[in-house]
Amino acid sequence: MSVSIPKTTTALMALLKADFAVLRANRRSAILALLVPVIILISWKPLIPKLGGAYALSSAITFGLMAIGLMGYSITVARDRDKGIFQRLRVAPVPTWAIMASRLAIQLFMIILLTLLIFIIGKTYDGVTLTFGGYVITFFVAFLGGAVYLSLGQLIVGLIKNPETVNATTRMVYFIFIMVGMFGELGTLGEHVKTYIHYSPYGAVKMMLATSMTPQTWSSATSTAVLISIGYAILFAGIGIRLFKWNTK
C-alpha cells in the first residue's frame, strides 16, 4: 500500500487555514489587541496639535505591535505547546519551519490590519493625513517593528516553558514598555532614562515609525534606530529559537 505525502505548499496552506480558523475562534483576543492602540489614538486627539500627528500614530502602532508580538504570539505559542499541539504537528509530514511560518503569517496579517486601522482612524477622526510615500514606508517599517516584538515574544517562550508564567511575563513586559517608554520619552523620568529609551526596543521602533510617516525628516538617528531594531530582532530570535522546546518536559 502506497502512502501519499502531501507537498510542503499543500501542508502549509492547510496550516494557514487552521490557524486562521483559530484566529476567528479567538477573535475577542485579536479585537482587544487592536482596541488598545485605537483607544490611545482617539484619546490623544487633543495632544496632536502639541506633539504632532506622527507622534500619536507612531505611538499607537508601537503599542499595537507590542500587543501582537508579546501577548498575541508568545501566549498562543506557549498555550499550544502546553496542550501538545506542536508535538502532534511534528509527527505529521510537515517541516517544522512550516509550522512556525504559519503562525508568523497570522501575526503579519494582524500587523497589516493594525496599521490600516490606525491610518483610517488617524485620518477620519484625528485629521492626520500622510503623504503616499509616508504610508508606504510606514508599512515596511511596521513589519520591521513587528519583527522586533515577535522575536522578543519568541525569546520569552524560549526561556519560559510554563504558559501561565509566559502570560504573566509578557503582560509585565508590555506594561513596563508602555509606562517607562511613554513617560521616559517625554522626559518625566529624567534625562538619563530619556536617552536610554531611545536605544530600547520601544524607542527604536517608535522613532522609525514616526520618521517614516514624514520621510523628509529621515536622519542618521533614524538609520541608527533601524540598525538597532534589526540587531534586536536577530538577537532575540536567535536566542529564542535556540532555546525553544516543542514540549514542556
* CA 191 remoteness from chain centre: 28
Number of residues assigned to the chain: 249
pLDDT of residue 239: 93
160: helix, strand or coil:
coil
pLDDT of residue 61: 92
CB 150 within 8 A of CB 104: yes
pLDDT of residue 229: 93
What is the DSSP secondary-structure string of 4-37?
PPPPHHHHHHHHHHHHHHHHHHTHHHHHHHHHHH
Give the burial class of 206: count Cβ atoms within 10 A of its Cβ; 0-12 exposed, 13-18 middle, 19 or more buried: buried
pTM: 0.87
Provide the grid cell at 20: 486562521
pLDDT of residue 186: 65
Q: Which amino acid appears at position 79 of this protein?
A: R
Share of the chain above pLDDT 70, in %: 93
Tens digits of residue pLDDT in 84-124: 887 777 776 677 777 788 888 888 889 999 999 999 999 89
Provide the grid cell at 44: 490623544
pLDDT of residue 114: 92
Mean pLDDT of 126-146: 90
Tens digits of residue pLDDT in 154-170: 999 999 988 899 989 99
- Give Cα separations from 230 to 87, 178, 195, 205, 248 (angstroms): 31, 21, 19, 10, 30
| Dihedral sign computed on CA atoms, order 207, 208, 214, 218 | positive
* CA 88 remoteness from chain centre: 27
Provide the grid cell at 99: 509550522
pLDDT of residue 5: 59
Give me the chain's average pLDDT, please. 84
* pLDDT greater than 50 at residue 1: no
pLDDT of residue 195: 74
Tens digits of residue pLDDT in 178-187: 877 777 776 6
